[in-house]
């Protein structure tokens, strides 16, 4: 736990102003090796140093809030300026007792009348300052009580002084200019670091500026909305379809009625471009910046000027991680070449996701936009066969491994290695499907084993390939399926038959062809390491499940034979990397995506590709990669908490989430045409209007660069 002098954070008051610092939130203490003297933000104040000048810090905070105010509503734009001006007047020795009441009145108007969270939450700091520090300040605002530190008595007309309200509760009035602090004053050596975040932005692994691109949709500025998205990713149309949208779990609109359809709105603007016959245009202000926040007053991350076009980067794998790294690096001016073993670009996006979820032309268009930045993609080029890792290290200045997981995990059942006809591992099944190599399933009974999204894709695809019946076998209950609930429900609507708490024990074949599986029923025991209840076989419950095709989809594995033992591999069979920089055990070689994380999501792979680009850029400039301020703040904000699921928003609900168009189950199961149709024009605009624009300004007060932490 951190030590604090005073904290009102989260409505929990910790007051140690009359004694030594006491226990406060765990995130209080330091940031980036420097003392965190104070923090001002959306949920209150926190101070660890009794000599912090809160009055000066509040001025800096409201200056940052001003920089973020969009000007759409008077209370926020004008009100926060009035707050800043009054604080400056008080700090300059020209304050009046009535100013304290004025601050409270204006803050109340800002809180209650602002149209978005920026103003509503931004007013909190003033209330807490007035509630806990105004009484100490009030006597110094009376003309006859003004005392200049270091002087015996107030001098006539000596109003151009400097008032400091220290976190300890002491109030100092110093002679001198109001521009800056007097030399040697307690608050002289600090650095203010304001930033902007939002609950959805923080939760998004790729940290897309969600409030900004949705605000642009509200105004009908669709191209600008798309440009904002493309600061972080070239795959707007892809993510608009297949992202698992964790951002929606942190949507404050969900505290009122229903979360915003954030993924659908991303697709809305991506489709706007395509429907108008325009090719996707990548590189719209690409920013090499990977944090859950941005500096206050700036539209995005810090620009990073490319060093020289002579620097070359090799990327192994053209999946979402590889494409994302290529996009970011090419946008910086690096020469990027991707080596792809498959005959098509896109990795698992191309061969692991059925076209009814991700149409091939959408993916191809966004890949072409990345190539237009100068990225070269060498297809049918397997590293370890057609070119070695050693060669890449010799020919390129840095290497990024993003090969994904293209092998299926074993079920561990009898007969699995016999090569029976009709036994098709899930990853191979989907690859063959997407490369038009899949055998006909007309009239067949297909059994898919597994409960994740790959299993759902296999089952739903089997129906579209003409299977008479598709059964999905999962050893746990429906509630514990890792697949997204929408996928589970859609598969059931299309006719997939579920067998829950069932596990196969052996494959049964006749003349070399699958005839079925021996199975056993399971009951749920104590929770395992994943937190889910461990499935335990029920004695005497064995039964035979007839089928013609078995598709195991219980997990994926990496093929790392091309590494030839030169790069460290972890116990899970994935590449070991620094968890922040993604550097491997070999200098200049980085890795990311599923080949590091295990089977995860597309948006997480995009985030890893973005982060790898930052590290590669550092490495090519400085000779090493290291955690950035953005990385530090990401971890710190995780402790602070940007979203409270129990928060009462205080507005009327009832504006239901707009529904995206979906083809009826009876029709869509006939072919591989896209199931979801996205929003039409009116629904897209209406959904964007539901956004509460939950930007939150925070500001750290850090010890000066040369100041000791204690």
State the CATH number of the domain containing residue 375.
Answer: 3.50.50.60
Instruction: Sort 442 into a burial class: Cβ within 10 Å, 0-12 / 13-18 / 19+.
Output: exposed
Model pLDDT, residue 175 = 55
CB 588 within 8 A of CB 392: no
Tell me the average pLDDT across 264-271.
Answer: 97
> Taking the CB of residue 304, how many other CB atoms lie within 10 A of it?
19
Contacts of 491 (CB under 8 A, 6+ apart): 456, 459, 460, 472
Tell me the average pLDDT across 267-293.
Answer: 70
Say whether both 615 and 633 belong to one domain: no
pLDDT of 400 higher than 50: yes
Say whether both 337 and 250 belong to one domain: no
pLDDT of 414 higher than 70: yes
pLDDT of 345 higher than 80: yes
* Spatial separation of the C-alpha atoms in residues 197 and 176, rounded to whole Å: 37
**Closest C-alpha among 157, 126, 131 to residue 42:** 126
Tell me the average pLDDT across 174-193.
Answer: 57
pLDDT tens for residues 194-220? 999 999 999 999 999 999 999 999 999
pLDDT of 160 higher than 70: no
Say whether both 401 and 414 belong to one domain: no
Model pLDDT, residue 380 = 98
* Spatial separation of the C-alpha atoms in residues 447 and 627, rounded to whole Å: 46
**Closest C-alpha among 343, 355, 360 to residue 461:** 355
pLDDT of 144 higher than 80: no
* Spatial separation of the C-alpha atoms in residues 403 and 559, rounded to whole Å: 8
Model pLDDT, residue 296 = 63
| Torsion angle in degrees (nearest 10) through CA of 332, 335, 340, 345 | 50
Boundary-marking domain end, from 525, 555, 585: 555
The strand pairing partners of 4, in sequence order, are 22
Say whether both 668 and 522 belong to one domain: no
Residue range of the domain that includes 78: 3-196+697-703
Contacts of 504 (CB under 8 A, 6+ apart): 411, 413, 449, 473, 517, 518, 519, 545, 550
Looking at the domain assignment, is residue 708 inside a domain? no
**Closest C-alpha among 100, 133, 124 to residue 17:** 133
Looking at the domain assignment, is residue 189 inside a domain? yes
Looking at the domain assignment, is residue 470 inside a domain? yes
CB 414 within 8 A of CB 507: yes
Model pLDDT, residue 294 = 56
Say whether both 157 and 266 belong to one domain: no
Say whether both 141 and 34 belong to one domain: yes
pLDDT category of residue 297 using cuts at 50, 70 and 90: low
Say whether both 597 and 644 belong to one domain: no
417 token code pair: 């290695």
**Which of 151-160, 167-176, 478-487 has the highest mean predicted lDDT (pLDDT)?**
478-487
CATH of the domain at 28: 1.20.1440.230
> Taking the CB of residue 649, how many other CB atoms lie within 10 A of it?
16
> Taking the CB of residue 278, how many other CB atoms lie within 10 A of it?
11
| DSSP state at residue 82 | H
661 token code pair: 């168009």
CB 174 within 8 A of CB 164: yes
Tell me the average pLDDT across 248-267.
Answer: 97
Say whether both 332 and 267 belong to one domain: no
Contacts of 422 (CB under 8 A, 6+ apart): 509, 513, 514, 548, 549, 550
Q: Report the share of the chain in percent with pLDDT over 90.
A: 77
pLDDT category of residue 652 using cuts at 50, 70 and 90: confident
Mean pLDDT estimate for the chain:
90
Model pLDDT, residue 307 = 60
**Which of 21-25, 226-230, 304-308 has the highest mean predicted lDDT (pLDDT)?**
226-230
Boundary-marking domain end, from 536, 555, 574: 555
Model pLDDT, residue 158 = 43
Tell me the average pLDDT across 538-554.
Answer: 97
Contacts of 619 (CB under 8 A, 6+ apart): 398, 583, 588, 590, 625
Say whether both 297 and 236 belong to one domain: yes
Say whether both 121 and 38 belong to one domain: yes
Model pLDDT, residue 179 = 40
* Spatial separation of the C-alpha atoms in residues 400 and 611, rounded to whole Å: 11
Tell me the average pLDDT across 692-710.
Answer: 81
CB 569 within 8 A of CB 468: no
Looking at the domain assignment, is residue 709 inside a domain? no
Model pLDDT, residue 151 = 32
pLDDT of 295 higher than 90: no
* Spatial separation of the C-alpha atoms in residues 620 and 335, rounded to whole Å: 12
256 token code pair: 């009122």
Boundary-marking domain end, from 580, 603, 622: 622
Looking at the domain assignment, is residue 251 inside a domain? yes
Residue 423 backbone phi and psi in degrees, to 5 = -100, 110
pLDDT category of residue 177 using cuts at 50, 70 and 90: very low
627 token code pair: 């955690």
Helix-helix angle 453-464:426-434, to 10 degrees: 50
pLDDT category of residue 356 using cuts at 50, 70 and 90: very high
Contacts of 434 (CB under 8 A, 6+ apart): 344, 350, 351, 352, 353, 354, 355
Model pLDDT, residue 650 = 83
pLDDT tens for residues 577-626? 999 999 999 999 999 999 999 999 999 999 999 999 999 999 999 999 99
Sheet (strand 445-449) strand order: 497-500, 469-474, 445-449, 549-552
pLDDT category of residue 302 using cuts at 50, 70 and 90: very low
Model pLDDT, residue 23 = 86
Lowest pLDDT segment from 281-295, 434-448, 574-588: 281-295
Model pLDDT, residue 660 = 95
Looking at the domain assignment, is residue 93 inside a domain? yes
Model pLDDT, residue 281 = 63
Lowest pLDDT segment from 327-336, 466-475, 530-539: 530-539
* Spatial separation of the C-alpha atoms in residues 276 and 267, rounded to whole Å: 14
pLDDT tens for residues 124-143? 999 999 999 988 888 888 65
Say whether both 652 and 670 belong to one domain: yes
Instruction: Sort 707 into a burial class: Cβ within 10 Å, 0-12 / 13-18 / 19+.
Output: middle
* Spatial separation of the C-alpha atoms in residues 286 and 290, rounded to whole Å: 11
How many structural domains compose the chain? 4
Say whether both 608 and 640 belong to one domain: no
């Amino acid at each position: 736990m951190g030590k604090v002098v005073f904290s009102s954070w989260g409505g929990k008051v910790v007051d140690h102003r009359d004694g030594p610092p006491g226990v406060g939130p765990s995130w209080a203490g330091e940031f980036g090796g420097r003392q965190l003297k104070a923090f001002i933000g959306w949920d209150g104040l926190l101070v660890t140093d009794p000599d912090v000048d809160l009055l000066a810090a509040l001025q800096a905070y409201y200056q940052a809030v001003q920089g973020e105010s969009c000007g759409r509503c008077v209370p926020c734009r004008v009100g926060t300026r009035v707050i800043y001006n009054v604080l400056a007047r008080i700090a300059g020795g020209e304050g009046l007792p009535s100013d304290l009441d004025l601050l409270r009145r204006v803050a109340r108007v800002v809180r209650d009348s602002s149209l978005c969270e920026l103003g509503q939450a931004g007013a909190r700091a003033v209330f807490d300052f007035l509630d806990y520090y105004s009484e100490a300040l009030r006597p110094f605002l009376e003309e006859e009580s003004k005392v200049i530190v270091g002087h015996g008595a107030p001098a006539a007309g000596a109003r151009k002084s400097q008032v400091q309200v220290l976190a300890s509760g002491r109030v100092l009035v110093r002679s001198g200019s109001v521009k800056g602090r007097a030399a040697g004053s307690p608050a002289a050596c600090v650095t203010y670091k304001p930033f902007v975040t939002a609950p959805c932005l923080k939760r998004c692994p790729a940290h897309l500026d969600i409030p900004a691109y949705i605000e642009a949709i509200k105004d009908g500025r669709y191209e600008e909305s798309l440009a904002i998205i493309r600061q972080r990713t070239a795959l707007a149309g892809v993510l608009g379809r297949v992202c698992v949208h964790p951002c929606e779990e942190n949507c404050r609109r969900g505290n009122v009625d229903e979360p915003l359809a954030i993924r659908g709105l991303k697709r809305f603007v991506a489709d706007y471009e395509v429907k108008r016959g325009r090719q996707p245009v990548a590189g719209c202000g690409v920013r090499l910046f990977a944090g859950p926040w941005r500096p206050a007053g700036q539209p995005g991350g810090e620009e990073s000027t490319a060093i020289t076009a002579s620097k070359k980067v090799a990327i192994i794998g053209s999946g979402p991680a590889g494409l994302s790294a290529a996009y970011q690096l090419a946008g910086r001016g690096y020469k990027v070449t991707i080596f792809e073993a498959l005959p098509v670009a896109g990795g698992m996006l191309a061969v692991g996701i059925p076209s009814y979820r991700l149409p091939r032309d959408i993916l191809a268009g966004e890949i072409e936009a990345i190539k237009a930045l100068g990225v070269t993609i060498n297809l049918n080029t397997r590293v370890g066969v057609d070119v070695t890792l050693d060669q890449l290290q010799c020919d390129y200045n840095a290497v990024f491994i993003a090969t994904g997981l293209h092998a299926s995990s074993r079920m561990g059942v009898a007969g699995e290695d016999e090569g029976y006809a009709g036994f098709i591992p899930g990853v191979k099944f989907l690859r063959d499907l997407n490369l038009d190599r899949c055998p006909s399933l007309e009239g067949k009974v297909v059994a898919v084993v597994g409960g994740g999204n790959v299993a759902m894709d296999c089952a739903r695809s089997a129906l579209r390939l003409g299977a008479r019946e598709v059964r999905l076998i999962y050893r746990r209950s429906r509630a514990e399926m890792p697949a997204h609930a929408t996928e589970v429900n859609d598969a059931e609507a299309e006719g997939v038959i579920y067998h829950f708490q069932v596990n196969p024990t052996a494959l049964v074949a006749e003349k070399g062809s699958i005839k079925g599986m021996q199975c056993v029923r399971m009951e749920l025991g104590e929770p395992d390491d994943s937190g889910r209840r461990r499935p335990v076989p029920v004695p005497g419950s064995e039964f035979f499940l007839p089928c013609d095709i078995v598709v195991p989809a219980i997990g994926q594995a990496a093929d790392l034979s091309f590494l030839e033992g030169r790069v460290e591999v972890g116990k899970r069979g994935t590449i070991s990397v620094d968890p922040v920089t993604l550097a491997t055990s070999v200098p200049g070689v980085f890795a990311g995506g599923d080949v590091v994380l295990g089977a995860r999501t597309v948006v997480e792979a995009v985030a890893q590709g973005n982060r790898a680009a930052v590290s590669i850029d550092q490495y090519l400039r400085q000779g090493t990669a290291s955690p950035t301020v953005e990385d530090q703040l990401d971890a710190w904000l995780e402790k602070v908490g940007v979203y409270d699921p129990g928060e009462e928003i205080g507005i009327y609900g009832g504006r239901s989430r707009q529904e995206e168009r979906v083809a009826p189950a009876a029709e869509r199961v006939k072919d591989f045409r896209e199931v979801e149709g996205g929003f039409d024009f009116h629904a897209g605009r209406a959904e964007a209007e539901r956004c509460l624009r939950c930007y939150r300004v925070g500001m750290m007060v850090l010890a000066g660069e040369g100041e000791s932490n204690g």
